[in-house]
Structures are given as structure tokens and as C-alpha cells.
């Protein structure tokens, strides 16, 4: 499926609770829906890493996203797309060069693209990861820490890395309506992010009570089924026009 470029991409919007005009989405790779065998996305990523195909998979996703961003820009629509980078991919010395070349091919600005990196990815080779993130930042890309709060050295990451955004892990977000501890963790992460001048997004928001709590906590953005399900490229702009 990697060789014939038939993997599907869906985009899940993020709601910016302060600037509702801005369109920001996360790119999610999916196994082809028409395929007779169904493979979960987590397993697809795991197998790609195990068999040395993660670079091929990621560059397929990158090129498809960049193509879609180019089409949006042709329609005079400004859409920021976030792409997940795996831990294994961060070990590639030539990653910034690959991504810069793709920008030139599709003639888009790096400011339209963000990369989400999980906390676990930082632990493997912290010196190399730091250098790589600064290279990506210098290219003009935005950077986010995904699943924030589940790692061991969150504070150190915020001090050391050139991050624009942190995403609160959905485990805490979905637990905060019934757990005082989870609510305190979410509030602490929001305050911490703001103290560092970062945008803070809550993942896994699925009910109105959680949304109201996050607004009260002054969270910058949300992502989850309450706001929007992942959708194909052609549905993003009509969806945004309808939900302004």
C-alpha cells in the first residue's frame, strides 16, 4: 500500500477558542477504507517503524499534505496543518533537508505547517533531537509537544526546545470532569504553557462540560469529537464556512 500511494488522509480541525477565524487541522493517516483488511493507524505506524518504512510513510503523508495546502492556498484559504513525527524519524540527519525540498516542490510556506512530537520521542537522543528541532524551527515550521503531561521531564522540554504549542493528553482532559487531580493537572499545564508564552490545546474533548471547564481555565484551543470528526480534504473549507 505504501508503494502504490493509496493510504488515505483525514484532517481533524482544532477549535481555537480565542480566534475562531483561524483554520488549524491535524493530518491523520488512515489505511485505505476500500481495502479488504482493516489496519489500525497505531499498528500501521508501529509496523512502518519495525520494517524501516517510516521515512517512506511520512514523506507520503508530507507530500500529500503539502499538495493539499497548495490547493487551499490557490483558493486563498489559510490552513495550518499539523503532522505527527515519530521518534524514529527524529533520528534522521537529513530530515530538515527532505522537508525543505518538499516545500519548494509544492511552493508553500513553512508557516503553514506544524509538526507534533510526542514527549517519548525526546528521550531517545536529547542532544540530536534538540539540534534537529532548532533546524526545523529555523526552516519556519511550527512545533508542538503532543500528549503533554505523560512524560517525565516536561519542564525541561519547555525550557530547552523551540516549541510553539503543547497538547494536553486526552487522558487528563477526559478525566477532569470526575477527578479533582486530573482537573488540577489540566489547569497546571495551561498555566505552565502560558507562563512560557505557548499555545495550549486540549485533546479528546467530547462533551460540553469539558468544553466549559476548559474555557473557564482559559485554554487556547480544543480538539475532539465534540468539535469535529476527522474529515477528507474537500470537506474542510465547507465545514469551516458553516462553523465560523
pLDDT tens figures, 152-181: 556 777 788 899 999 999 999 999 999 999
Low-confidence ranges of the chain (pLDDT < 70): 1-6, 19-22, 31-54, 122-124, 151-154, 244
| Cα–Cα nearest to 80, from 16, 153, 176 | 16
Residue 66: what pLDDT?
96
Pairing state between β 165-168 and 221-223:
unpaired
> What is the model's pLDDT at position 5?
52
Q: What is the pLDDT of residue 72?
A: 94
Spatial contact of 20 and 222, defined as CB atoms under 8 Å apart = no
Evaluate the CA torsion angle 199, 200, 205, 210 in order and state its sign.
negative
The full length of the chain comes to 244
d(CA 159, CA 149): 15
pLDDT at 1: 44
Choose among 195, 192, 176, 196: nearest CA to 184: 176
β partners of residue 83 = 115
**Residue 79 DSSP symbol:** E
pLDDT at 87: 77
pLDDT of residue 23: 84
pLDDT the model gives residue 58: 80
Amino acid at each position: 500500500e505504501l508503494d502504490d500511494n493509496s493510504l488515505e488522509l483525514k484532517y481533524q480541525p482544532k477549535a481555537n477558542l480565542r480566534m475562531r477565524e483561524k483554520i488549524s487541522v491535524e493530518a491523520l493517516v488512515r489505511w485505505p477504507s476500500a481495502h479488504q483488511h482493516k489496519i489500525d493507524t497505531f499498528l500501521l505506524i508501529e509496523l512502518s517503524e519495525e520494517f524501516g518504512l517510516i521515512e517512506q510513510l511520512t514523506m507520503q503523508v508530507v507530500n500529500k499534505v503539502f499538495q493539499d495546502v497548495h490547493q487551499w492556498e490557490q483558493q486563498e484559504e489559510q490552513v495550518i496543518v499539523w503532522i505527527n513525527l515519530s521518534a524514529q524519524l527524529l533520528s534522521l540527519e537529513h530530515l530538515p533537508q527532505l522537508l525543505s525540498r518538499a516545500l519548494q516542490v509544492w511552493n508553500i510556506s513553512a508557516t503553514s505547517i506544524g509538526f507534533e512530537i510526542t514527549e517519548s520521542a525526546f528521550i531517545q537522543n536529547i542532544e540530536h533531537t534538540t539540534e534537529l528541532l532548532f533546524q526545523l524551527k529555523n526552516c519556519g515550521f511550527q512545533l508542538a509537544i503532543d500528549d503533554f503531561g505523560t512524560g517525565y521531564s516536561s519542564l525541561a522540554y519547555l525550557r530547552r526546545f523551540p516549541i510553539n504549542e503543547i497538547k494536553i493528553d486526552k487522558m487528563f482532559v477526559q478525566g477532569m470532569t470526575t477527578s479533582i487531580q486530573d482537573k488540577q493537572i489540566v489547569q497546571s499545564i495551561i498555566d505552565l504553557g502560558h507562563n512560557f508564552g505557548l499555545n495550549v490545546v486540549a485533546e479528546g474533548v467530547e462533551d460540553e462540560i469539558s468544553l466549559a471547564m476548559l474555557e473557564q481555565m482559559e485554554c487556547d484551543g480544543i480538539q475532539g469529537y465534540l468539535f469535529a470528526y476527522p474529515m477528507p480534504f474537500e470537506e474542510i473549507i465547507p465545514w469551516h464556512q458553516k462553523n465560523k
